[in-house]
């Protein structure tokens, strides 16, 4: 009687990307979006995406590298979508419920500010030791 061969499991998703990225963040192609992105707008690009305005709620930017917004991020920002954990997200203010870098998703709590306490604006997101840092 022949033994049955066991096939290895096939996994899909960003978590199986094994390519190591060593490209510096300042060495990338860029696409510039002139003006704010409104609800329903979607920009996908393999390099860095620069938005000269706000990224409004309902709008999406999906970038293979970095995302730079010269305004406020309220919509979906996914940098390093091809698995690049060296990618960053930078904006005048990050006010979105969620941002993504590579395969890491960060939910952002909208805590109510205390009386007399100033809300700290988050302006930068990056990954350090497999954890997303928002500052």
What string of pLDDT tens digits covers the 135 residues of the chain?
555 455 444 444 444 444 444 445 567 789 999 999 999 999 999 999 999 999 999 999 999 999 999 999 999 999 999 999 999 999 999 999 999 999 999 998 766 444 444 567 889 998 998 899 888
End-to-end CA distance of the chain: give it in Å, rounded. Answer: 63
pLDDT value of position 96 = 94
* In the block, residue with structure tokens 């954890």: 131
28-107+120-134 classified as CATH 3.30.460.80: no
pLDDT value of position 52 = 96
What residue ranges do the domains of the chain occupy? Answer: 28-107+120-134
pLDDT value of position 109 = 77
Instruction: Tell me the two tokens of residue 93.
Output: 């203010």
Alpha carbon 26 to its chain centroid, in Å, reads: 16
**Tens digit of each residue's pLDDT (9 = 90 or more) over 93-106:** 999 999 999 999 99
Q: Which of 20, 76, 13 is nearest to 44 (CA)?
A: 76
């Amino acid at each position: 009687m022949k033994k049955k061969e066991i096939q290895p499991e096939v996994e899909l998703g960003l978590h199986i990307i094994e390519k190591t990225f060593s490209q510096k963040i300042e060495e990338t192609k860029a696409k510039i979006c002139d003006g704010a992105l409104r609800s329903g707008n979607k920009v996908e690009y393999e390099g860095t995406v620069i938005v000269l305005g706000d990224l409004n709620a309902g709008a999406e930017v999906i970038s293979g590298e970095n995302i730079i917004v010269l305004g406020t991020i309220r919509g979906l920002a996914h940098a390093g979508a091809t698995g690049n954990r060296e990618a960053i997200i930078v904006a005048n203010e990050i006010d979105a419920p969620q941002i993504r870098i590579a395969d890491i998703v960060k939910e952002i709590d909208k805590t109510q500010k205390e009386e007399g306490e100033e809300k700290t604006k988050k302006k930068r997101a990056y990954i350090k030791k497999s954890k997303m840092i928002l500052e």
